[in-house]
Amino acid sequence: MATSEISINEKNRMTKTERLNGVLRSLRTSSPEIIGATVVTSDGFIVASHIPNEVDEDLIGGMAASLLGVGERIAADLMRADVEQTYVRSAKGYIIVNAIGAESVLVLLVTREAKLGMIFLELKRTLNLLAEHLDN
């Protein structure tokens, strides 16, 4: 019983960024095809990140904000709806940008060999966890 109390107290002392990084780390561990995961504000600022060292966080933030802006414009003008997700496919893999509410997005870097159906299932679960942590 004391062990669970300690873990609850430790969890309460963790910062929002630490909790978000824990979720991102768990996401990457659960699916080896996900090579990077970042939470970015709609302005392009990094909130939490778990990416390889060779990837520039600031570049991800700026590109995600740009992609989100274009996606929002396309969704609004052509579909009369809010953007939920956009992704880019390249020869090496995918960049998936998914809304986590009105102010943040999750950016995933995924290998080309990934089964997108499985990635999207994991993404849905992760978005719920991230939304909980962002609200608290």
Listed in sequence order, the DSSP H helices in the chain are 2-13, 16-30, 57-74, 116-135
| Average pLDDT score, the chain | 89
Domain hosting residue 76, numbered range: 15-135
pLDDT classification of 1: cutoffs 50, 70, 90: very low
The predicted structure's pLDDT at residue 135:
85
Beta pairing class for 104-111 and 85-89: unpaired
8 Å CB contact between 85 and 75: no
**Predicted model pTM:** 0.86
In a domain, 73, yes or no: yes
The predicted structure's pLDDT at residue 4:
36
The predicted structure's pLDDT at residue 10:
56
In a domain, 9, yes or no: no
CA distance 100 to 78: 22
For the stretch 50-59, contacts whose Cβ atoms lie closer than 8 Å and that sit 24 or more positions apart, written own/partner, are 50/21, 50/24, 50/25, 51/109, 55/109
Give the count of domains, the chain: 1
CA distance 108 to 39: 9
| Residue 20's CATH number | 3.30.450.30
Neighbours of 22 (CB within 10 A): 16
In a domain, 7, yes or no: no
